[in-house]
Structure 1
Amino acid sequence: MCELLAMSANTPTDLCFSFTGLTRRGGDTGPHKDGWGVAFYEGKGVRAFHDVDASANSRIAEVVQTTPIKSEVAICHIRQANVGAICLANTHPFQRELWGRYWVFAHNGQISGFRPTPGFYEPVGSTDSESLFCDILNHLRRDCGRDTPTETIVAHLVALAQGYARAGVFNLLLSNGDWLFTFCSTKMASITRRAPFGPARLKDADVIVDFESETTPDDVVSVIVTEPLTTDEVWDIYRPGEWRLWRKGEVVMSGKDEAG
């Protein structure tokens, strides 16, 4: 399986600390050595980095770790290949345009033999993950529109995610730059940091950060991951079938598939 990382914040914030912890799991403290990618929203634009090398040894990952790219929404993925060759076309997160916005998607799990609904969006690579992304967008493009309320779009996303999860493992990160939708099929955890801020220590690297010195009293920063990244903070563990919609670092909608 792969590992996921996302951030939702109410002010442009860098991901250096959390990204450093995650990259160690890509070929060092974990087996996810088959490539990695990260996407940072900057307004309606996206700054994306992908590499087929293990993140623990990637020079590109080293640049991202040490460059404070500030964003309100970011999505990251480290890959342990199950379906599809190790190549850039199969490296998450995937990105497509819909209704004048870039949508970014990353998936942890596997749905054997999945085939997307025929439509406008087609996968470039050979992963079930990208096929699932195209399937989601084809459904949204068919059933919703540019002015469809967010609540209606989320209801479609929840129904689709629940169906995918019943067919296999489907842990999801999806954003259009305004909000971040997360769905847990098996494993997911989150933490929301707000004043009063304190220090935190990574599990996978000898790194400590004092968030008080890096933030203002008004900052709200939430991090969503497959497995908790720090040893001295209390993480909120998702239940299987649980979904949350994040905006500006806060949960604005949530629910649970009782059949999940």
Structure 2
Amino acid sequence: WTNMQSEIKQDWTNKMKAHTASSAYAVQNGKPVVCIWGFGFNDDGRPFAPGPCKDVVDWFKAQGCYVIGGVPTHWRSGNEDSRPGFADVYHAFNMLSPWMVGRIGNVSDTDRFFTSVNTPDQADCNAHGIDYQPCVLPGDLQERQRAHGDFMWRQFYNMVRVGAQGIYISMYDEFNEGNQIAKTAETGGQVPAGSGIYALDEDGTSCSSDYYLRLTGDGGRMLKKQIALTANRPTQPRV
């Protein structure tokens, strides 16, 4: 995207800005929300330099927007999936939402990231007046990561106790990567024969098709302090 710096502004001015008049448009701190996903990622598809990226963030803030950055997992350290030299860009956002899909696959991974990544991330955001919105994922169903909801609940527990201001669910309907919380086949008899696709009972625990929607609802209530912080999953696989 060679003309990103100018075209993203034109797109907002000519198309997207009009949608902010809708009562359905997301608002935070009285400002329309804009999320820019991809600045700082260390891959060939996003070759943007820090200068143009920071200009874009600053421009949206000058338009009166609350700007979220969908950023690399290792934004704070500026290595691995993050390009170096982007600290000023990351710190220009109103909220940071680091990507986590593919980084964790079980409860032990979740606890390790809580200590080594999420806790210092939250401290950095607090020090710079930035809201922190980490990802929570149900786990790749095809990789059999879900542990009938225990994996996802541990993430909710860790992100709430770290002090996150928000949580980004990865994802609602990403069936192609197996990370969907949307209604899913309960048993192998409900998937195409010979497809190799797992259903929610892949680990022997029967789960209702809407289980991960209900679990996400309970995680949201815990984030909002409508239910107490608990490491024990309150959501039953079946009701």
**TM-score of the superposed pair, with normalisation by structure 1:** 0.29
Q: Which has the higher strand share?
A: 1
Q: Which has the higher helix share?
A: 2
